[in-house]
Structure 1
């Protein structure tokens, strides 16, 4: 019997991989996903997934995009300035 290593991933990584695979958030267990590509698509400073792009703004704010997000945990450098009060949560509901 062959034992395979257990691979774990965050919900945001799986969601990103699912979007890349064209399934809008639903991942079939047996489906092959390009995890390396998904990791490059999500910025490592945010959870859930925030895309790597020129700018990301809060969906409830006045930013000009090109990408928008709802509430996120800021778990690294806040390169998109989503956490205006420094409490570790970006794009909080006002």
Structure 2
């Protein structure tokens, strides 16, 4: 999810000198500085990046091919995740 200002994408946002990681409005996330969480039942395109919690650590994965997400394609956990996702990188 991104915010645009003057036609340009906002990559970092600060409030009172501190970097904002997420912003919420009326119960909905309206800004995130990180990659989105992987979601079941979503179309992903080659190159999309998602995050997955693997036993308390957060990892980023990159889609290798266009696909519709199923439990078998979930990064790390899915039986066929290696076909759909690569470049796993621990980010915390």
TM-score of the aligned structures, taking structure 1 as reference length: 0.31
User: Which structure has greater strand proportion?
Assistant: 2
User: Which structure has greater helix proportion?
Assistant: 1
TM-score of the aligned structures, taking structure 2 as reference length: 0.31
